[in-house]
């Protein structure tokens, strides 16, 4: 007799939760309840801006009783976001951030009497405090990983630490469960349900190599069939019908004469050096030289001053960017500008100052992120927010802006999507315009082509698209450096 699949049942939530959650968020909580019922782990992979934190907190609040403690591990920059969300929206959930001296953290982790129902720590501190976590007499009730792509490499200290923390139930939250390779998915499932996808070597043999190296559609379909019911992903287009449109366009920028001459000189020189290095050492051993060459060419595309600080060069991208900023300012709107290079943000900042355009700026060195964000959202005079892609691509709500400029493209389209979602998320009431600045006839156009391959792999496992992505090969690199 054929067994029927177990249904995801309706869950009776407290009235305060029902009033807070949107229908699709309630569905997310019911899905977590389904996992709990059968003692499964799972990945809440909703697109950025759909409220993964609120869904997880609702579920944990309902199921973590007095005398039990759950733990959230998240990036350091999001510690107090989690605390604020929990205290504001779920006041019944007593909360504490694991911080202070090593001894203070240890006491909080091992606390038994009147222990908080929710502890929040960061990935770096989870590593440092791992012996205290192992020493707990009672496992955590829930262990949640936010931005779970932080453990995508199973060999990292982050991955080893969180996998060693004892817990009865485990959940992972990430809008990008897979960025580059299916091995990343294995690492997250190794945290959630060790052994579910086999040992690492077995997984690589049956899934990793066939999919990543040979584009084996059968292996890809098999992997998706195994993981799909343990991953829940909704996009804003599917569930937020009231969310305004997002209009994206790539703006091809022609290099000026001086910038183009420098680019072509460096391209010819680095190509010759790189090909000689690969012939001498082999492709794999020359990868650090490949990355250095790519970095230099990308910097010239942004602004020659990043590699030739003493020269007097123009930047076509900077001029285009400032044209957009002037238009935004004249219309009384706000714009977010993302770059991977903080030195480029400094150059843009100098241009803004010289034209008396008020702005905010956030990089990895910025303290008081939330205060800065709140001030920008509230200040009608602030037109521009300059943001480092690495430091500000997650955990920020900047719906006061309706324009996003991606100043420089990178291989991974998911990273750019996360940046755009700082503005295109719940609370946005205007159409969001996204401009990706691409220098014509350069390495950046090759990067855009490779982005399509990466997006294909993500879609193949997380949504319905069946395209497959191959790893960056020597042939890809040769094409990138070809004029």
Which CATH number covers residue 41?
3.40.50.10810
Residues 271 and 256 in one domain: yes
Place of tokens 């930047």: 315
Task: Say if residue 230 is in the same domain as residue 293.
Answer: no
Domain of residue 23: give its range.
Answer: 15-239
Phi and psi at residue 40, in whole multiples of 5°?
-95, 160
> What's 410's domain CATH number?
3.40.50.300
Given the structure tokens 């004029």, which residue do they identify?
483
The answer to whether residues 120 and 170 belong to one domain is yes
Are 59 and 248 in contact by the 8 Å Cβ rule? The answer is no
- In the block, tokens 């817990």 appear at 167
Does residue 189 share a domain with residue 282?
A: no
The verdict on residue 3 lying in a domain is no
- Which residues make beta-bridge pairs with 433? 247, 403
Q: Can you give the pLDDT at residue 455? A: 63
Tokens of residue 323, six digits? 């044209």
Question: Which two structure tokens, joined as six digits, stand for 2?
Answer: 């054929």
Place of tokens 């305004």: 244
Distance separating alpha carbons of residues 300 and 318, to the nearest angstrom: 12
Same domain, 216 and 305: no
State residue 311's pLDDT score: 74
Indicate whether 295 and 331 sit together in one domain.
yes
Whether residues 209 and 282 share a domain: the answer is no
- Could you tell me if 287 and 316 lie in one domain? yes
* CA pair distance 293, 105, nearest whole angstrom: 44
For residue 16, what are the CA distances in angstroms to 32, 59, 69, 91, 240? 18, 13, 22, 10, 21
Query: One digit per residue, pLDDT tens: the chain, 483 residues?
Result: 334 445 566 778 888 998 999 999 999 999 999 999 999 999 999 987 788 999 999 999 999 888 899 999 998 878 888 998 999 899 989 999 999 999 999 999 999 888 999 999 999 999 999 999 999 989 999 999 999 989 999 999 999 999 999 999 999 999 888 877 889 999 999 999 999 999 999 999 998 888 888 878 888 888 888 888 899 998 887 888 777 888 888 888 888 889 999 999 999 988 888 888 888 888 777 778 888 888 899 999 999 999 988 778 889 999 999 999 998 998 899 999 999 999 999 999 999 999 999 999 999 888 888 899 999 999 988 999 999 988 887 778 899 999 999 999 877 777 788 889 899 888 888 989 999 999 988 988 887 877 666 666 666 666 533 333 334 567 766 777 775
Confidence at residue 463, expressed as pLDDT on a 0 to 100 scale: 55
| SS3 state at 175 | coil
263 and 194 inside one domain: no
Give the integer Cα–Cα distance in Å for 429 and 421.
13
* Judgement on whether residues 268 and 393 belong to the same structural domain of the protein: yes
pLDDT for the residue numbered 459: 65
Q: Looking at the 3D structure of the chain, how many domains does it have? A: 2
Whether 4 maps to a domain, the answer reads no
Q: Are residues 217 and 305 in the same domain?
A: no
Domain annotation covers residue 6: no
Same domain, 141 and 158: yes
> Which pTM was predicted?
0.68
Whether 121 is in a domain gets the answer yes
- Is 237 exposed, middle or buried, given 0-12, 13-18 or 19+ CB atoms closer than 10 A? exposed
């Amino acid at each position: 007799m054929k067994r029927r699949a177990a249904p995801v049942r309706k869950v009776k939530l407290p009235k305060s939760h029902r009033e807070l959650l949107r229908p699709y968020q309630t569905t997310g909580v019911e899905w977590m309840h389904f996992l709990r019922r059968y003692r499964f782990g799972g990945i809440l992979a909703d697109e950025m801006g759909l409220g993964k934190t609120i869904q997880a907190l609702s579920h944990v609040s309902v199921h973590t009783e007095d005398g039990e403690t759950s733990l959230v591990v998240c990036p350091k920059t999001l510690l107090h976001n989690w605390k604020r969300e929990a205290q504001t929206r779920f006041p019944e959930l007593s909360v504490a951030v694991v911080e202070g001296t090593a001894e203070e953290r240890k006491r909080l982790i091992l606390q038994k009497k009147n222990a908080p129902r929710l502890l929040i720590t960061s990935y770096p501190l989870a590593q440092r405090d791992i012996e205290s976590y192992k020493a707990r007499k009672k496992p955590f009730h829930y262990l949640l990983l936010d931005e779970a792509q932080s453990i995508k490499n199973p060999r990292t200290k982050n991955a080893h630490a969180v996998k060693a923390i004892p817990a009865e139930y485990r959940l992972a939250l990430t809008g990008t469960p897979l960025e580059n390779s299916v091995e990343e998915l294995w690492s997250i499932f190794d945290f959630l349900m060790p052994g579910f996808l086999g040992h690492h070597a077995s997984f690589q043999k049956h899934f990793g190599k066939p999919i990543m190296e040979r584009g084996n559609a059968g292996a890809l379909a098999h992997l998706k069939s195994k993981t799909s019911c343990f991953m829940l992903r909704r996009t804003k287009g599917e569930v937020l019908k009231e969310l305004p449109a997002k209009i994206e366009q790539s703006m091809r920028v022609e290099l000026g004469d001086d910038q183009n001459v420098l680019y072509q000189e460096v391209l010819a020189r680095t190509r010759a050096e790189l090909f000689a290095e690969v012939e001498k050492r082999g492709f794999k051993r020359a990868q650090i030289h490949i990355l250095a060459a790519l970095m230099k060419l990308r910097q010239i595309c942004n602004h020659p001053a990043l590699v030739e600080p003493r020269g007097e060069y123009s930047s076509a991208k900077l001029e285009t960017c400032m044209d957009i900023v002037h238009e935004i300012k004249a219309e009384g709107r706000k714009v977010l500008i993302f770059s991977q290079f903080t030195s480029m943000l400094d150059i843009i900042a100098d241009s803004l100052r010289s034209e008396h355009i008020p702005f905010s700026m956030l990089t990895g060195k910025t303290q008081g992120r939330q205060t800065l964000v709140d001030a920008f959202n509230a200040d009608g005079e602030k037109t521009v927010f300059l943001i480092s892609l690495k430091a500000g691509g997650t955990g920020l709500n900047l719906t006061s802006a309706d324009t996003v400029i991606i100043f420089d493209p990178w291989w991974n389209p998911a990273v750019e999507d996360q940046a755009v979602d700082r503005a295109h998320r719940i609370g946005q009431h205007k159409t969001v315009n996204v401009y990706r600045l691409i220098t014509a006839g350069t390495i950046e156009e090759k990067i855009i082509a490779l982005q399509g391959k990466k997006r294909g792999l993500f879609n193949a496992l997380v949504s319905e698209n069946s395209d497959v992505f191959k790893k960056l090969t020597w042939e890809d690199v040769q094409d990138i450096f070809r004029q």
